[in-house]
């Protein structure tokens, strides 16, 4: 499928497009390192968020411990700066099958979709590390931008609405990532552009998986709630933002 076809539902889903000013800022050579490092962290955060949902809503302690063990070497590399990133490719697998806890109302579909997402996000994490190595970009700690937190503060505090909202937020994060990869691809060198295009298929499916799960979990039509979060997301993307990152808003013009 041509990537233009993959992007059509994404572009219809998102309320606004990425501002051209963000694209112009993102393709500057001096911003390559922050884009790659933030992309790396976003892949890990995506895996962590999906894992949190499985652990909170769908598995018992044994399954939860197995999931944490899976993620541990990736987190250790980032948070403790320990380990060799080249070893991670062999660690992206579960050592046991994960089954739903007996009293989970969400069950295997949530687990199956999120486990696949985690595997893909951790694979992308490794791929970004490869590219950083090729481009001579060293990992360094950076502050998170306002984007995800700006949406999560609107999540309901009661269930199942809290889970529904978290899944909708996940859909928007994945969809925006997909849109931004497509925006960047034509303006960077072939190696990086090809990589961004290669991510579109999985990112496009991830946003659909989140939306499907949200409607399955909800005891109501989620259409209006999706629209509400769409407006929140669009405001974060289109309003001025002092902190330039992969999911940041409109860059403030230099005086």
The stretch 138-149 carries a mean pLDDT of 93
Are 23 and 179 in contact by the 8 Å Cβ rule? The answer is no
Q: Which two tokens stand for residue 230?
A: 């769409």
Query: How confident is the model at residue 254, as a pLDDT?
Result: 62
Determine the Cα–Cα distance for residues 133 and 124; give it in Å rounded to an integer: 14
Task: Concatenate the DSSP letters of all residues of 36-70 into one string.
Answer: HHHHHHHHHHHHHHHHHHHHHHT--HHHHHHHHHH
Determine the Cα–Cα distance for residues 166 and 19; give it in Å rounded to an integer: 25
Given a cut of 90, whether residue 1 has pLDDT beyond it is no
Q: What is the 3-state secondary structure (H, E, C) of 216-244?
A: HHCCCCCHHHHHHHHHHHHHHHHCEECCC
Determine the Cα–Cα distance for residues 200 and 181; give it in Å rounded to an integer: 7
**% of the chain beyond a pLDDT of 90:** 80
Query: How confident is the model at residue 148, as a pLDDT?
Result: 95
The stretch 140-158 carries a mean pLDDT of 95
**% of the chain beyond a pLDDT of 70:** 98
Q: Which pLDDT tens digit goes with each residue over 74-115?
A: 999 999 999 999 999 898 887 767 777 777 787 788 998 999
Collapsed DSSP state (helix, strand, coil) of residue 251: strand
Are 174 and 203 in contact by the 8 Å Cβ rule? The answer is yes
Collapsed DSSP state (helix, strand, coil) of residue 254: coil
Query: How confident is the model at residue 70, as a pLDDT?
Result: 93
Q: What is the pTM of this model?
A: 0.94
- Residue 241 dihedral angles phi and psi, to the nearest 5°: -140, 120
Q: Which two tokens stand for residue 176?
A: 């925006």
Collapsed DSSP state (helix, strand, coil) of residue 76: helix
Q: Which pLDDT tens digit goes with each residue over 32-62?
A: 999 999 999 999 999 999 999 999 999 988 8
Q: How confident is the model at residue 255 (pLDDT cuts 50, 70, 90)?
A: very low
Q: How confident is the model at residue 2 (pLDDT cuts 50, 70, 90)?
A: low
Q: HSE on the CB side for 64, CA within 13 Å?
A: 10
Measure Cα distances from 199 to 65, 125, 138, 149, 231 in Å.
Answer: 29, 11, 22, 24, 25
């Amino acid at each position: 499928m041509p990537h233009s076809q993959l992007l059509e539902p994404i572009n219809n889903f998102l309320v606004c497009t990425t501002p051209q000013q963000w694209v112009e800022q993102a393709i500057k050579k001096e911003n390559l390192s922050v884009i790659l490092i933030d992309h790396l962290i976003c892949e890990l955060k995506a895996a962590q968020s999906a894992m949190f949902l499985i652990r909170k809503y769908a598995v018992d302690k044994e399954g939860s411990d197995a999931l944490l063990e899976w993620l541990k070497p990736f987190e250790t590399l980032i948070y403790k700066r320990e380990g060799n990133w080249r070893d991670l490719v062999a660690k992206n697998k579960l050592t046991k099958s994960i089954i739903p806890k007996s009293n989970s109302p969400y069950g295997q579909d949530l687990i199956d979709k999120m486990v696949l997402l985690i595997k893909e996000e951790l694979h992308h994490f490794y791929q970004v590390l490869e590219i950083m190595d090729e481009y001579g970009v060293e990992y360094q700690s950076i502050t998170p931008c306002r984007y995800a937190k700006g949406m999560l503060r609107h999540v309901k505090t009661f269930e199942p609405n809290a889970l529904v909202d978290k899944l909708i937020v996940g859909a928007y994060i994945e969809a925006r990532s997909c849109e931004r990869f497509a925006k960047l691809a034509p303006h960077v060198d072939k190696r990086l552009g090809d990589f961004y295009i290669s991510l579109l298929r999985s990112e496009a499916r991830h946003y659909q998986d989140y939306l499907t799960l949200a409607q399955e979990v909800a005891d109501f039509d989620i259409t209006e709630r999706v629209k509400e979060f769409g407006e929140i997301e669009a405001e974060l993307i289109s309003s001025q933002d002092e902190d330039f990152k992969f999911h940041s808003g409109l860059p403030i013009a230099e005086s």
